[in-house]
Structure 1
Amino acid sequence: MMRRFFGAITASLLALVMNGCLGVTLNSPTTRPVDLSTPEQPRPPGPDVAPVPVPTGTSPEVAEYYYRMTEKPSSLESMTVDTPLELSVEQAVVSALENNRALVVEQFNPLIAGTFVDTERGVFDPTLFAEATLETYRQRSFNEVEGRLFSLDGDERTIVGGISQQLPTGTELSLEIAQQGGTRDDIRANDEARAGLNLTQALLRGGNLAANLAGIHRAQAAALASAYELRGFTENLVARVENAYWDYALATRQVEIFEESFALAQRQRDDIHTRIEVGQIAETEEVVANAELALRRQQLIDARNDREQARLSLLRLINPPSARGWDQDIRLSEKAVIPEVRLGSAEEHERLATRLRPDLNEARLQARRGELETVQTANGLLPRLDLFITLGKTGYARSFGESFTDLDGPGYNVSAGLAFELPVGNRAAKALDRRARAGYRQALHSIDNLQQLISLEVRTALLEVERSLQQIDASAARRILQEEVQRAETVRFRVGTATALDVARVQRDLLESRINEVEAIVNYRQALINLYLLDGTLLLRRGIDGPGAEEVLF
């Protein structure tokens, strides 16, 4: 009979555990791979890029973006003190991904967020418990017959052990085995053993499966949101690195142009000085030449300072392993050339942005968390009504340890009942529910507002790409014409029909046109980077794999 009783208790406990835990599917926030509409012809594999195997199930539109760097530019080795850093765009990006300290700090956030999922799951883990106590005592009593005090010595021993678990169904279970016994001078030893099953089932508040699992689902959404946040940070870092690379390229080229201009101004000053000495032109022309030379010196000083600032900014982002630290020289291996790309329509880039933008997907996950919170607060509006059942068998014996043999005897206990609780007015729960629902509606409106802002940003970025592309041709045409004007003005100066001031003016215009031409190319490359950042495809186009590359369905 004792075996049948323990078998029934164990079977009941296992059935409830299996039904309450293993039968519940803890769904993660739903995502799906993004089906890219070909807005741009990706750069084909070349000396610095190679195709990477495409994951199974990837759509053809996505597959064409899977390129990665080869092993050659994947890392930067430590350099000697006097070695300049040979750097391509791909190497700069890889170095930043490997060494940027801000990114290293940011990568801990998803790890930390993931621990909260296990914390929430731990609420439904079974718990083993055990307790043993030993108490000795001496009681003092007064004997009225004999008129004196006397003492009674005794001891009590209690051992309790078992397992308890809270199930997602709102069920609290515990199976325990206890033994209690003791001795006293005036009473014979009497031990008691008990085995029992305690069950409490929430019928209203706390009995909603979805509400009880909401904490796990919210933690999962928060962990996934942290992954999208990391992706957004990485995308911004890659964009900053590429922009910094081209800023340094522009600054370097500007220094070269200003050095050439300064050297030209020096030659013209010397030529004017020679012509003055032979009496070909007036002495006043030398003042103009000296003033122009001083201006070019000022411009060259500013250009070199801008280049130094751009170098430091790039070093801060890529943080290369170098013995020179901030003094490390950088030599760029790529020139400011015009990339050949085929852009899609504004609608195509908008569709990409609404599916891939990490901040939008993160906002959707935050709204999902708000929705789950409303499920919990709605459950909190209900009164508490719990059903509790206790089943137990009891055995008795004269000696400690033998009471378990009497568990198949007639001793037992069964109890059942209901417990009800409802705060008067329930104002706190109602306020929490109103707050959660208002926050959820606010999150939905924020998503709509963010989508509109993203659409505006993408369209503005696309306009900037088109404008900067047109400026390349316009600035090149202007530079060619200014070279012709400069040659003509120089000839006029040599024959005496123009002054040194006229030549200086056209040379300034030529200098400005040369700077503008290089700026137009760099602006176009940076406009493309900004467009890819805003439509959420920058990492895909650079072949950088990472979490958060899928659309959050909400």
Structure 2
Amino acid sequence: MLRPNQAKASAVLGAVLTTMGGCAGPMTTNVIPASLFSDNTVKSAIVTEARPANFGNVPAARISLAEAPRIPTTGMPESISIEQMISVRDRVAPHQVVLTGGRPIVSNDPIQVASNAAFANFQSDGSAIDDVVEQIPPAPNSIKAKAAEPLSLSDNDAENVVKENRAKARAGAKQAEQRQAAQQKRAAAAKKKVAAAEEAEAKALAIEAEKVDSLPAPIADTPEETTTAYVGSQPLPLAEAVRIALSQNKGIAVLGYLPQEIGTFVSTERSVFDPVFQADIRGGQFDQQNRNFINTGGLLPGGLAPGANEQRNDFLSGTDLNVLSITKMLESGGTVGAGVGMNYFYDTPVGDGTFLNPAWRSALNLSFEQPLGRGRGKNVTTAPLRIARANQSLASHEFQAIVNETLRDVQLAYWDWKRAQRDYEVTRDAVRTALETLELEKEAVRSGEGTLPDVEQASDQWQRFRIDEALALNDMKKARITLIQLMGLPLNDINYDFAIDEPAITTDVAREIGEVSAMARPEVLAAQANIRAVQLEVILAADTLRPDLNLRLDYQVTGLETGLDRAIETVSEHRFNNWIVQLEFTQAVGQRAACAALRRAQLKLARAIAEQDRVEQEIAAEVARTWEDVMTSAEQLRIQNERVATARSQVKGRNDLFAEGEGSLDLKIRAEASLVDALLKRQAAEVFVQQQIVRWQYVTGQQQYVQFVE
């Protein structure tokens, strides 16, 4: 956009060029020869109509023979430029300029005078009006006047000629006076028009200045004030954010109990093989009637003697064979046991079958029971324990997956916060720059150098950047809240003010290593642990198809004496012993329940294997996608860097042109907006590269902030 002084100069130049030659035509490098100005026919030619050169075949311009202002030929050079022609016109007869129709003519536009005229084509050399040559250089010595030839006339003829010449002279003088008066009148009218135009222009500038002064001033919430109210001085490194998240994140805290909870089942299944100690004893008395009234022949109860019909037994023994015992289950499925038995009897009166009274019976009991069908073998007996361990491993890997996902989210949120901070800084600087441009445009209008539309355009740019700044500040606050939430800190007690780490722009990643390490991610290990657990369930289900066949062996050493010590001594002598062999068989006809259980277990195993295939395929695809994102983000960052460099160069060039008064405000504002957009996109590209590296480390199982120990 041209400044007012440039617009005036362009208008004057266009008027002169249009007067001399009409609209633009094909351009040549020639200038007008000065010798042509001595030809009155040529000097009288004024172009009154022409058409632009872009209309195809340009017809010859029509030439009028109206009298043109006399242009002196004395001191004219052999060629004259447009600037010199304008200077001569302004000094000789500025009020006789005749404007023709056609488009406005600006500097460097080619001008076609006429295709059938004696003039050669000419063009403006683009010089400023202030640099127009003010004086015509003297004519060369080659220009000489032609000597007049003598006349031969009679006296009457001479007198008539004299009279005629005097009459012509008086008429010429009168015409000259009339022309001079007309010229003075036209000059006065022209001066009045110029004064009126200047007065109107001054009034217009005053009105524009009043409109500028009436525009709303910048509000008080400047970037410095909003920043001071939010940004503090406590930095937050990324490693600190990860450390806090590991210890304070609520999701990790909740899921951290699950592996420990599942781990208790391991202890439960392991306890099956622990020895079991048992102590058991009971005592009492049995009082029985041995005879009734009929048995005694009608005598008194008790028969011939008191108590003859009563039998009383005192006893002390264990509830089973043993008073003290210990048993243990073997991994083969069998059970071994050893125990000590003790029985005390005292009968009143002594019965017929009683040989010792009181009697102490002591025994050493040994037992062994082994399943020969169902439940036989270590593979079956340890299956529940191994299932519990597999479930514990499954829970642990699932917990690791959640932790890795949380750490990924923490890192991504950290870099989102960093990007939001950078965006806020860029928009804040853009607001400052736009505000400076707005103030400069206001000052230009006050001084008569600018226009009100320029002020309004600069104000629109400033308002749009203020909106972007407010949105960027909002994004920064929300990104900070998201990060603090993932870290597990209370939102009402936030001590960290800004992210201090900068993105490490690197894409030095190995795809082959990532593809291999990705198959060791917790998700894959969890699927494998689930398969192990289900495989053991299949083993247990298949074991139910075996017959229930059990072998039992019992061996007992006994002693019976009137005293406990003597009974124990008899046991130690190993003189009296008992042994028993027992075999028991049970089998359900058809085994429908067992077959159905096995089928369920097999289907569950097939589903678990398919789930592992799905997880591995999904992870492989995720690795491939992330690899492409890493490469694309690196290329995008490279292009964004080039764009920023180009935008900076464009802004510098537009600012230089604008400062020299040659560029337009619209192009300057567009360049500044393009630079802001380029800076925002480059910052987003830098953070995107860093975030893709975080995602690559996550999908390939190469998290560097945490290690899990079984």
2:245 maps to a residue whose letter is A
Secondary structure in 2 aligned to 1:452? helix
The sequence identity of aligned pairs, in percent, is 22
Aligned with residue 301 of structure 2, among 148, 151, 158: 148
Matches within 5 A, 1:85-104: 85-104=234-253
Q: CA deviation at 1:467?
A: 0.3
Q: Is the 8 A contact 2:236 2:496 kept in 1?
A: no
Matches of 2:488 and 2:495 in 1, distance apart?
A: 10
Q: Does 1:342 align with 2:504?
A: no
- Give the C-alpha shift of residue 279 in structure 1: 2.6
CA drift at 1:96: 2.6
- TM-score, normalised with respect to structure 2: 0.61
Q: Work out the CA distance in 2 between the residues paired with 1:264 and 1:143.
A: 128
Q: What is the match of residue 203 of structure 1? A: 372
Partner of 2:543: 379
Q: Does 1:397 align with 2:546?
A: no
Find the aligned partners of 1:109 and 1:466 in 2 and give their Cα distance.
Answer: 38
Task: Kindly indicate whether residue 485 of structure 2 is the aligned counterpart of residue 316 of structure 1.
Answer: yes
Residue number in structure 1 paired with 2:156: none
1:331 aligns with 2:498: yes
For residues 205 and 157 of structure 1, the distance between their equivalents in structure 2, rounded to whole angstroms, comes to 39
For 2:707, the aligned partner's letter is D
In structure 2, which of residues 568, 578, 581 is the aligned counterpart of residue 413 of structure 1? 578
C-alpha contact 1:126 1:166 (8 A) present in aligned 2: yes
Matched residue type, 1:397: E
Amino acid at match of 1:377: A
* Pairing 1:360–2:524 present: yes
- Please tell me the root mean square deviation across aligned C-alpha atoms, in Å: 2.5
Q: Distance in 2 between matches of 1:486 and 1:289?
A: 15
> Which range moved further: 176-185 or 93-102?
93-102
Seen in structure 2, the aligned counterparts of structure 1 residues 492 and 441 have a Cα distance that, compared at 3 Å, is same
**C-alpha displacement at 1:255, in angstroms?**
0.7
Distance in 1 of aligned mates of 2:467 and 2:444: 26
- How far did 1:325 drift? 5.0
Tell me, in whole angstroms, the C-alpha distance in 2 between the residues paired with 1:524 and 1:428: 58
> Per the alignment, in what secondary structure is the counterpart of residue 420 of structure 1?
strand
CA distance in 2, matches of 1:331, 1:423: 73
* Higher strand fraction (1 or 2): 1
Q: CA offset at residue 493 of structure 1?
A: 5.1
Conservation of the 8 A alpha-carbon contact between 1:269 and 1:289 = yes
Give the AA of the match of 2:548.
R
Alignment of 1:535-554 (within 5 A): 535-539=700-704, 542=705, 544-547=706-709
Deviation at 1:358, TM superposition (A): 1.2
Q: Quote the residue 2:442 is aligned against.
A: 273
2:281 match: secondary structure:
strand
Q: Provide TM-score, normalisation by structure 1.
A: 0.77
Residue type of the alignment partner of 2:359: N
CA deviation map 1:517-554 (0-9, x unaligned): 01101100110110111111123xx5x43226xxxxxx
Give the SS at the match of 2:417.
helix
1:194 equivalent to 2:363? Answer yes
Aligned match of 2:429 in 260, 281, 300? 260
Tell whether 2:643 aligns with 1:478.
yes
- Post-superposition offset of 1:475: 0.6
Matched residue SS, 2:552: strand
Larger Rg: 2
Q: Residues 117-156 of structure 1 correspond to what in structure 2 (within 5 A)?
A: 117-140=266-289, 142-144=292-294, 145=296, 146-148=299-301, 152-156=311-315
Contact 2:334 2:370 in 1 (8 A): yes
Query: Residues 154 and 182 of structure 1 are in contact (CA less than 8 Å); yes or no, is this contact kept in structure 2?
Result: yes
CA displacement, residues 434-466 of structure 1 (integer Å, 9 cap, x when unaligned): 111111122222222222221111011000000
Q: How do 1:277-288 residues align onto structure 2 when only pairs under 5 Å count?
A: 277-288=446-457
> How far 1:186 sits from its partner (Å)?
2.0
Q: 2:677 maps to which residue?
A: 512
Indicate whether 1:530 and 2:692 are aligned: no
Q: Give the direction of change, closer, same or farther, for the CA distance of 1:281–1:337 in structure 2 (3 Å limit).
A: farther
Code of the aligned partner of 2:537: E
Give me the whole-angstrom Cα distance separating, in 2, the residues matched to 1:472 and 1:337: 13
CA distance in 2, matches of 1:509, 1:473: 17
1:278-311 CA distance string (max 9 Å, x none): 2323223333333322222221111111111111
Contact 2:293 2:300 in 1 (8 A): yes
My pick for the range that moved more, 458-467 or 406-415, is 406-415
The answer on whether the counterparts of 2:368 and 2:554 sit within 8 Å (CA) in structure 1 is yes
- Opposite residue 301 of structure 2, the aligned amino acid is R
**Greater mean deviation of Cα atoms: 179-188 or 465-474:** 179-188
Q: Find the aligned partners of 2:232 and 2:673 in 1 and give their Cα distance.
A: 36
Aligned residues: 459
The one of the two structures with greater contact order (alpha-carbon pairs below 8 A, sep at least 6) is 1
